[in-house]
Amino acid sequence: MSIVSVVKQSGKSVEEAVREAVSMTDRFEDAIPSGATVLIKPNIVGPSRSGSGNITDARITEAITRLVLERNPKRVIIGEGSGVGYDFPGRRDSITCMEASGTSAVAEKLGVELVDLNRDEQVKVSAPNAYVMDAFSVARTAREADVTICLPVMKTHIRTGITCGLKNMKGVLPGNEKKRTHQCGLDRGIVDLNRLMKPGFTVVDGLIGMQGIHAGEVDRVPLGLIMAGSDVVAVDAVCSAVMGFDIDQILHVKLAAEAGLGVANLNQIEVRGERIEDVKRPFLTYQQAARDRFGGVAIIEKNTCTGCMGEIVSTFVYLNKAGFHDKLADLTLIMGTPDHVPALKGRAVVIGRCAREFQHLGVFVPGCPPHGIKITDAACEALNIDKSIVHRTIQDLHSF
């Protein structure tokens, strides 16, 4: 049976909780042999602070790095390739994201390497029996590591239901390959990636999870948990259950089990520590949150990547905060590569490079992804809103 530990952090330091969770699995020593080259892969999708729920808490990264160093490795690297749009060196890239989270300070403190996997040399790989990605490029540092330790955060996701261990491995893909997973089918693309790049051990940051549309404090879910295991599929299955999802709702985890990458059947997973029933906390899905807060917006899209999906949230927030919630019912967004666009009332906002063939239907916002403020300006133009009012709201929101 696969083993997954679930530990409450309450009354312990984060490092104590991490050590307990790792020890409880009885698998860490086998996963990290002495003399190995080890990649520690947190989830630093963007420039957020530790404790926000958006990214892996730097205290967990530090605790795991200490544990790895105790195994006498040959080389230790903390590496991440942040989300689409974070590839502007020195200004908006994986390193600046890791600085914002405190992750780079951990690397400096413990004397280990820090690598931007988006800018790393790429190597071509081939996945046997692939669903949709039989060949793709990955960061050389990740490919050549003897073992990868995956440090995801428990979050919902518009495409995949949840994002946890399996999906966190997308950070080893360069930007164009990240986008391709959306274009060819994200759930299956995640499985194909993990056929070759499956982590050797996974430790989940369940201190603060993130539900809904990830729009700040309202979507943070304090859980105070650390989960660990050597079977990333089993870890994701347990996390899905803790978040209130049936495994049949989480296609990439189900497909990963069918592909033989691990166990997703809870009856075949030994959960040590806390019982799932005692720590379960149903998460609000992206779709539920968007409907509740921005229900009037019409979105016509297909295969839209996380970059554009993330940026449109800013537009919803800005217009809502500026007092134009009622106007959202008149807003239509066209994104990605939809097969067909029905007759529209009024002008649409056409977002991003992928949707440029539809730019004649409304206000076009170029970019890959375009910035949220540019999308907001386009929405103001389409809805005949005075954008200076919205910009004052934006200044107020970011005046900290």
In this predicted structure, the answer to whether residue 1 has a pLDDT above a threshold of 80 is yes
What are the domain boundaries of the chain?
A: 2-279, 295-395
User: pLDDT above 90 covers what percent of the chain?
Assistant: 73
Instruction: Give 312's pLDDT tier (boundaries 50, 70, 90).
Output: confident
Q: Is the pLDDT of residue 399 over 50?
A: no
Query: What is residue 398's predicted lDDT score, i.e. its pLDDT?
Result: 63
Identify the band that residue 295 occupies on the pLDDT scale cut at 50, 70 and 90. low
Q: Which fold has domain 2-279?
A: Rossmann fold (3.40.50)
Taking only the tens place, the pLDDT of each residue in 236-282 is: 999 999 999 999 889 999 999 999 999 999 999 999 999 999 999 99
Of 44-48, 141-145, 200-204, 313-317, where does mean pLDDT reach its minimum? 313-317
The predicted structure's pLDDT at residue 221: 96
pLDDT tier at 85 (50, 70, 90 boundaries)? confident
pLDDT digits (tens, 9 = 90+) for 123-171: 999 998 999 999 999 999 999 999 999 999 999 998 899 999 999 999 9
Hey, what amino acid is at 114? Answer: L
Instruction: Work out the percent of the chain whose per-residue pLDDT is above 70.
Output: 98
Specify the pTM.
Answer: 0.83
What is the predicted pLDDT for the residue at 217?
86
